[in-house]
Structure 1
Amino acid sequence: MTSAAPTKYSREWVDGAASLKRAVAAVEKTERVYFDLEADSMHHYFAKVCLMQILADGGCYIVDPLVKLDLKPLLSALAKKPLVLHGADYDLRMLYQQYGFRPKSVFDTMIAAQLLGRSAFGLAALVKEAFGITLGKEAQKADWSRRPLPADLLDYAAQDTFYLPGLHQTLEQELDAKGRLDWHRESCAALVRATERIRETDPDMAWRVSGSAKFRPRQLVALKAMWNFRENIAREQDIPGYKILPSDVLLRFAEGVPVEGLPDQIPRLPSRLGAELRNGFLQAFEEAIQSDPKSWPKPLPPPRKPVKSPHPDLLADLKKARDQVAAGLHLDPSLLAPKAVLLSVALTGVSAPESVREAAQWMHWQENLLLEPWLQAAQRYQKPRSP
């Protein structure tokens, strides 16, 4: 069932002190803020926030963070208001990493749709369902760091926030009617905490691209050398590494490295790279395969065999109990407990609530749904107590 078309709000481009002051005032006057942002990770090595779209007090303020503005007053005002976003994970991570921003609270419309049992929960699917409007995809791969931004991109950026008030109202009412509003609040709070954890990259793993697991050490040193050369160029030029040379080309070079001697033939590098870059890649490759074997990286050890549950059928019984609860609620079972949680809990033997809680690391609503069914499912595996 579709709702009325969303309101088209006035739009203001914020790139100076006066317009920024108006945006801050609008945020301070409003009860909640509808928020979106655009970044440039597809076009630059060092990803950054390129736009902030802020729907507040009846207007949409499109903030340009790339100009030299002091955004502290705006971020401070935003931190005091509930934010409504769709798919907030990436946006909150970018805001935290770039500005140290922590929101007061978040209403994520994607999480809401998932907790209501929607099988299609992307923004386009929700907008189509709620308003009967088909969103275009032409701007999804746009370079948001371009200046000036064309009018069609500004329209695209602004319109995403236009749909959020209607989606928020509808989804919040549905959650409340189903008694799942607290589930959503807890899930959004957990998301905020998760986005404040910085994901560190292991330097010994970054270059081990998919498809290299079975390479010999001499093949690995060739891959690592070419990958490092590519990343250095990518950092210097501030473009993603894959745009310089895709990883599958690096893999083809490494695959052709023999146990000893030189390869009979090597893949061709694309002419678009230019002679200097092509020579750089080839030099890195040749120096690597002729380097001291003592310096070659070692293959990763095979993955450890998973620890077996004390009861072979317990995992299947836990999964069956989870799936039954999820089916009754018309939810994706993984929302209640993903596979990793199933495995972790099965290893405990499910003999006591405390061990299950520690293994599952549940939110309260998940525990309330699954703890008792799992304890019951595991009863037949427990040893009877001695009299």
Structure 2
Amino acid sequence: MIDTADEFESACRILAAASGPVAVDVERASGFRYSARAYLVQVSRRDAGVFLFDPPAIGDMQALQRAIGDEEWVFHAASQDLPSLRELDLVPPRIFDTELSARLLGWPKVGLGAVVERTLGIVLKKEHSAADWSTRPMPQSWLEYAALDVEHLLDVRDLIADELAETGKLEWALEEFADELVRLPKPAPAEPWRKLNGLNKIRGRRNLAIARAFWLSRDALARELDAAPGRLVPDRSLVAAVVAQPRSKGELSSLKEFTGRQSRTQIDRWWQAFVDGRATEDLPAERVPSDALPPVRAWSGRRPEADERIKAAKPAVEAHAEFLSIPTENLLTPDHLRRVAWQPPEPLTEDAIGEALASHGARPWQIAQTAPIIRSAFVHAAQASDDTDESAS
């Protein structure tokens, strides 16, 4: 573990003197801490070795950015690590993602262990994946586990790149990597408390106000303690408290469903949240506007022509994905297809469909592979509908 300024500067000099791509991984403390900050950054480079950096102890990580910031960074599931690295001002100029590549190659198992075993014949122990990486000092077995996450990644990258080229999918992968690198995280919801698991069990604006007060109070405490909110009091406990409608602090404390590390020690806080939610005049709406489409199962009643389009296009896209040995969701994001089926462009040409898909975030290779299939399916659906109407008349 590199956790001093001198060790850090020395490691960065060694990494800068080496050549070629750099394998990078990040360990967080998801499920234990409030933040998604990096508690360990693993870096490996040929002719340099493996380095395990402790960001909270080091602080400013810019020397590492200077050492490797001009090279390709190799990840396994980059989308998980890039946000935490950006918080440290560590930004790769370009990336290679072995997990995403394995998906494009149609491999049945795409976890790091499975990919390393398939490409190199090496079996990795994956026994500490759910560890609390904020633990200090970190056990030696955890450090060894973390090192193995990057030690073989460059060899895996080269073998996968060869197979992508052999199957004609390398350019597709490069488009995916470029998109992954610049893709912005989804904006935070305006009312994050509505993500409370089990909120659908709560009826009425007053009870929703109580649920909101519980959630906000727990979130403030979690932020203060840097602890995962669900470890303080689980969602199901907050929902159970709202449903139970306790008449006193004692009744709240005695609820068997009201559990968690802070359910009893912070009972004054939770009771005050309940009282505040019950007294507020700022009642939340029971339903909030959303740009989400209706469930596909409801389309036949609400927009029959869209229902016909999705029923024709979805199996056609799935068949093409199977032909290409790519998971359907990697060939085209299902929501992109649903949106185009719900509101197709006019005129119904391949170019227009391609522009519509692009507006939703589809990459050029995805558009080239799917736009002709979607147009053909939509046209077939319209013709079948017309034939049905003529028969009925």
TM-score bucket of the superposed structures, by smaller chain:
0.7 to 0.9
Change (3 A) 1:236 1:122: same
Give the residue type in structure 2 aligned to 1:288: G
| 3-state SS in 1 of match to 2:152 | helix
Change (3 A) 1:378 1:220: closer
Distance 2:306 2:30 in 1: 46
Per-residue deviation, 1:190: 0.5
Per-residue deviation, 1:191: 0.5
Determine which of 297, 319, 328 is the counterpart of 2:323: 328
Deviations 1:109-167 (A, max 9, x none): 00110010012111122123234444334311222222222211111111111121221
Distance 1:103 1:114 in 2: 22
Indicate whether 1:141 and 2:130 are aligned: yes
Per-residue deviation, 1:18: 4.5
Indicate whether 1:360 and 2:357 are aligned: yes
* Structure 2 match to 1:296: 283
* Structure 2 match to 1:157: 146
Per-residue deviation, 1:84: 0.9
Gaps of 5+ in 2: 295-301, 387-393
Per-residue deviation, 1:104: 1.4
Matches within 5 A, 1:59-78: 59-78=49-68
Determine which of 205, 220, 223 is the counterpart of 2:211: 223
- The answer to whether the Cα contact below 8 Å between 2:95 and 2:178 also exists between their aligned partners in 1 is yes
Change (3 A) 1:135 1:305: closer
TM-score (norm 2): 0.84
Change (3 A) 1:297 1:371: closer
- The answer to whether the Cα contact below 8 Å between 1:14 and 1:20 also exists between their aligned partners in 2 is no
| 3-state SS in 1 of match to 2:108 | coil
Distance 1:148 1:18 in 2: 17
Matches within 5 A, 1:237-316: 237-257=225-245, 266=252, 267-268=255-256, 269-270=258-259, 273=262, 276-289=265-278, 291-292=279-280, 294-301=281-288, 306=294, 308=303, 310=305, 312-316=307-311
Output the aligned Cα RMSD: 2.8
Matches within 5 A, 1:9-88: 13=2, 15-58=4-47, 59-88=49-78
Greater alpha carbon shift after TM alignment, 63-72 vs 171-180: 63-72
Matches within 5 A, 1:74-153: 74-96=64-86, 98-153=87-142
Greater alpha carbon shift after TM alignment, 79-88 vs 40-49: 40-49
Distance 1:297 1:337 in 2: 36
| 3-state SS in 2 of match to 1:67 | helix
| 3-state SS in 2 of match to 1:77 | helix
Change (3 A) 1:312 1:69: closer
Distance 2:151 2:46 in 1: 13
Change (3 A) 1:308 1:101: farther
Per-residue deviation, 1:215: 2.1
Change (3 A) 1:240 1:311: closer
Change (3 A) 1:91 1:211: same
Distance 2:293 2:166 in 1: 45
Change (3 A) 1:110 1:30: same
Higher helix share: 2
Change (3 A) 1:145 1:20: farther
Change (3 A) 1:17 1:265: closer
- The answer to whether the Cα contact below 8 Å between 2:12 and 2:63 also exists between their aligned partners in 1 is no
* Structure 2 match to 1:351: 348
Indicate whether 1:178 and 2:167 are aligned: yes
Distance 1:128 1:226 in 2: 46
- The answer to whether the Cα contact below 8 Å between 2:348 and 2:375 also exists between their aligned partners in 1 is yes
- The answer to whether the Cα contact below 8 Å between 2:3 and 2:58 also exists between their aligned partners in 1 is no
Change (3 A) 1:93 1:359: same
Change (3 A) 1:227 1:101: same
| 3-state SS in 2 of match to 1:273 | coil
Change (3 A) 1:271 1:101: closer
Deviations 1:200-225 (A, max 9, x none): 32342335413213521121122112
Matched residue pairs, number?
A: 366
TM-score (norm 1): 0.85
Distance 2:250 2:265 in 1: 23
| 3-state SS in 2 of match to 1:13 | coil
Change (3 A) 1:45 1:288: same
Per-residue deviation, 1:37: 1.4
Distance 1:248 1:112 in 2: 38
Gaps of 5+ in 1: 1-11
* Structure 1 match to 2:379: 379
Change (3 A) 1:152 1:365: same
| 3-state SS in 1 of match to 2:266 | helix
- The answer to whether the Cα contact below 8 Å between 1:75 and 1:101 also exists between their aligned partners in 2 is yes
Give the residue type in structure 1 aligned to 2:160: L
- The answer to whether the Cα contact below 8 Å between 1:219 and 1:254 also exists between their aligned partners in 2 is yes
